């Protein structure tokens, strides 16, 4: 089997046995990137906006390919392995990093013109930890600008395409990271999730993606969107790979004042324990109308599978879940309007010159931000402004408390909660760009867990048709939510489900990207 | 609530965004629609509920007051759109006669 089709754990075994070198593994993935991602083979790539050289066959998962640094790191891993050094469990395995996390030696653009060409002077803690584990970074991935979006169409560098159907979106905002893994251009990637930006693209591209418990993965070096919600997490093609990757990146970081000192229980120790006797809660409010028939069918089959595996299905209610999305679309833009004030044309990024400081600020921000970012800054600024703060931001923050309390009650009746990850399968490029509110509704099932800070994972549950393509087979994601710091439980439930389902996370069909 | 074009301009000023007239025209109905949706939070009786701004009740996180190295000045200024005399350069903020 091609090296690019192997899981991270399988690659790590081959690397440990010295059946293959880390350089060969990196080269196999760089070849794959050159073949399907719309970049010239062999060499470093820093894309510019707008990406007009792209064709409709290019996935465009990567914004920057750091081929030279990746080969150097891989060669170093090979040297140290040959010398008998004690290396980490995934040493030499390649990874794609979302372009929202800083890494020295390559640009961090956050999918925005505002930071086009910005070379960060420091590494994010996540980047540092990956380096310490000898994970080899292949490049930085495309995303909705400042992580605001659910389709990766808001990138200033052009959209990413779904490897399962190149005419459809990969979800977002971490669409590049999801497409890199689904398209076999990396076995692992890092995304960030604010309201579903890891889970929804994982669902739409048929892979595993997890949002860890808020505060367990450092945000140092993560360009902030909504600080009380942003959390980095893993993408992989297997549950075990994702659990390994989360284990490598989590843990307290004194450089992030919102980082907590607790770490979840060992994610790998109980992975294979099975789910016999576990209570799996189906959330009444996160199903039914608004979810596509194909998504509902696959979800119902998933519940039957859980019962066959010995779990007990219980119906639970999150009475305020329907208010999750409205609350989220006040809280996240409010935090964004404050966080993005730092892009003022002074310390980094774009500057548009003007006679006064205020005019320079306003002209720079008008030229540097795209339409969705402007929209959210405007919503947030309004929601925080004098006379509106109580009715909007404060009220939404109270609703957030009620949603967190709903989860506490629900977890008294169930060990984990499940729902479809997304109400739809992957939709067509351009289908929802004209209607911002329709795009926001993609996040309806993922934002409640975000507001409560609890861990949640999406994994493939099967395939279904799309409303506009009755013959299509597109991935459907299952969301598993666990109590705070019980990330181990969501991986354990996910692993049992994955083993029984036997889904092959490799794109197939006439519309899919080519696979060797 | 529906936002008028003038209200959109007011918010844009607060947000330091130099919007064009066509952006203002496009944003007024979009923001009105989004805010109308978001206003649903007002249906929830939450008078006596404490607001949540963070999933964990962290308070007063501080580090030991010990000197640590900062980023090298030249690295930081290298990323600035305009720097002079080891400082960030900006347009004049205070007028000569002020």
pLDDT score of A40: 67
Average pLDDT for chain A: 96
Average pLDDT over residues A498-510: 92
Which value does ipTM take for this structure? 0.94
Nearest chain B residue to A360 by CA: give it. B91
pLDDT > 80? residue A328:
yes
pLDDT score of B55: 85
pLDDT score of B63: 80
Condensed to tens digits (0 to 9), the pLDDT of residues A91-115 reads: 999 999 999 999 999 999 999 999 9
Active-site residue, selected from the candidate residues A21, A112, A189, A197: A197
Condensed to tens digits (0 to 9), the pLDDT of residues B28-82 reads: 999 999 999 999 999 999 899 999 988 887 777 788 899 989 999 999 999 999 9
Nearest chain A residue to B89 by CA: give it. A346
Nearest by CB to A365, from B16, B35, B91: name it: B16
pLDDT > 90? residue A28:
yes
Annotated active-site residue A374? The verdict is no
Q: Is A472 left (phi over 0), alpha (psi -120 to 50) or beta?
A: beta
B92 versus A274: which is more confidently predicted? A274
> Looking at beta carbons, which residues of chain B come within 8 Å of A394?
51
Quote the CA–CA distance of A252 and A434 in Å, as a whole number: 41
pLDDT > 80? residue A131:
yes
Average pLDDT over residues A133-158: 97
* Crossing angle (nearest 10°) for helices A324-339 and B21-38: 140
Average pLDDT over residues A341-357: 96
A367 versus A48: which is more confidently predicted? A367
pLDDT score of B97: 61
Contact B55 A344 (CB under 8 A): no
Residue A41's pLDDT band, with cuts at 50, 70 and 90, is: low
The helix or strand, by DSSP H or E, that contains position A180, with its residue range, turns out to be helix A175-182
pLDDT score of A413: 98
Residues 33-72 of B with CB under 8 A from A: 33-35, 37-44, 46, 49-56, 58, 61, 63, 71-72
Contact A395 B40 (CB under 8 A): no
Inform me whether the C-beta atom of residue B24 falls under 8 Å from chain A C-beta atoms.
Answer: no
Average pLDDT over residues A251-261: 93
Enter the pTM of the model: 0.97
pLDDT > 80? residue B95:
no
Condensed to tens digits (0 to 9), the pLDDT of residues A430-487 reads: 999 999 999 999 999 999 999 999 999 999 999 999 999 999 999 999 999 999 999 9
pLDDT score of B94: 76
pLDDT score of A369: 98
Quote the CA–CA distance of A123 and A102 in Å, as a whole number: 5
Percent of chain A with pLDDT over 70: 99
> Looking at beta carbons, which residues of chain B come within 8 Å of A365?
15-18
pLDDT > 80? residue A42:
no
Average pLDDT over residues A365-381: 98
pLDDT > 90? residue A46:
no
pLDDT score of A488: 98
DSSP string, A333-362: HHHHHHHGGG-SSSSSS-----SSHHHHHH
Average pLDDT over residues A20-49: 88
> Looking at beta carbons, which residues of chain A come within 8 Å of B79?
118-121, 347-349
Residue positions counted in chain B: 98
Q: Is A199 helix (H, G, I), strand (E, B) or coil?
A: helix
* Ramachandran angles phi, psi of A137, nearest 5°: -80, 120
Sole residue written with tokens 């980023």:
B71
pLDDT score of B96: 67
Average pLDDT over residues A29-34: 95
Buried b (16+ CB within 10 A) or exposed e, A421-445: bbbbbbbebebbbeebeebbbbbbb
- Range scoring the smallest mean pLDDT among A220-229, A254-263, A398-407: A254-263
Nearest chain B residue to A319 by CA: give it. B44
């Amino acid at each position: 089997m091609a090296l690019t089709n192997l899981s991270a754990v399988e690659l790590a075994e081959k690397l440990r046995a010295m059946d293959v070198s880390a350089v060969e593994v990196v080269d196999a993935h760089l070849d794959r990137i050159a073949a399907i991602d719309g970049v010239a083979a062999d060499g470093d790539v820093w894309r510019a906006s707008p990406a007009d050289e792209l064709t409709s066959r290019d996935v465009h998962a990567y914004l920057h390919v750091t081929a030279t640094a990746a080969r150097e790191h891989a060669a170093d891993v090979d040297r140290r392995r040959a010398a008998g050094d004690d290396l980490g469990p995934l040493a030499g395995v390649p990874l794609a990093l979302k372009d929202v996390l800083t890494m020295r030696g390559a640009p961090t653009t956050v999918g925005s013109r505002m930071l086009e060409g910005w070379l960060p002077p420091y590494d994010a803690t996540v980047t540092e930890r990956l380096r310490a584990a000898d994970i080899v970074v292949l490049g930085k991935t495309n995303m909705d600008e400042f992580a605001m979006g659910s389709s990766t169409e808001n990138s200033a560098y052009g959209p990413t395409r779904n490897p399962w159907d190149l005419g459809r979106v990969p979800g977002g905002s971490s669409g590049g990271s999801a497409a890199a893994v689904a398209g076999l251009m990396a076995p692992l990637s890092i995304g960030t999730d604010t309201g579903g930006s890891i889970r929804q693209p994982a669902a739409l591209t048929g892979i595993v993606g997890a949002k860890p418990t808020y505060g367990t993965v450092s945000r140092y070096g993560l360009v902030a969107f909504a600080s009380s919600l942003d959390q980095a997490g893993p993408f992989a093609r297997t549950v075990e790979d994702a659990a390994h990757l989360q284990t490598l990146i989590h843990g307290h970081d004194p450089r992030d004042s919102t980082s907590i000192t607790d770490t979840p229980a060992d994610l790998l120790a109980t992975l294979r324990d099975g789910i016999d006797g576990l209570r799996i809660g189906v959330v009444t409010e996160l199903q039914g109308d608004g979810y596509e028939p194909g998504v509902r069918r696959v979800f119902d089959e998933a519940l039957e599978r859980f019962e066959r595996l010995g779990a007990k299905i219980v119906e639970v209610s999150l009475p305020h879940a329907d208010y999750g999305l409205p609350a989220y679309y006040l809280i996240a833009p409010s935090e964004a309007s404050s966080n993005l004030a730092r892009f003022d044309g002074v310390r980094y990024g774009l500057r548009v010159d003007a006679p006064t400081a205020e005019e320079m600020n306003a002209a720079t921000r008008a030229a540097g931000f795209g339409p969705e970012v402007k929209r959210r800054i405007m919503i947030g600024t309004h929601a925080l402004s004098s006379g509106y703060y109580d009715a909007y931001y404060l009220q939404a923050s109270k609703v957030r408390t009620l949603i967190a309390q709903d989860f506490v009650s629900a977890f008294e009746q169930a060990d984990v909660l499940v729902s479809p990850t997304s109400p739809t399968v992957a939709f067509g490029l351009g289908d929802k760009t004209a209607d911002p509110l329709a795009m926001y509704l993609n996040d309806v099932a993922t934002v409640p867990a975000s507001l409560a800070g609890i861990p949640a994972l999406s994994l493939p549950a099967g395939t279904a048709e799309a409303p506009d393509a009755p013959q299509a087979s597109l991935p459907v994601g299952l969301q598993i939510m666990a109590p705070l710091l019980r990330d181990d439980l969501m991986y354990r439930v996910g692993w049992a489900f994955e083993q029984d389902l036997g889904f092959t996370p490799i794109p197939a069909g006439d519309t899919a990207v080519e696979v060797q | 609530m529906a936002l008028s074009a003038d209200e959109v301009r007011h918010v844009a000023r607060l947000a330091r965004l130099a919007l064009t007239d066509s952006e203002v025209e496009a944003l007024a109905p979009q923001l009105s629609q989004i805010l109308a949706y978001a206003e649903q939070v007002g249906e929830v009786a939450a008078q006596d509920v404490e607001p949540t701004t963070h999933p964990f009740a962290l308070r007063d996180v501080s580090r030991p007051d010990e000197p640590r190295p900062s980023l090298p000045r030249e690295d930081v200024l290298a990323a600035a759109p305009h720097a002079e005399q080891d400082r960030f350069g900006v347009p004049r903020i205070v007028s000569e006669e002020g």
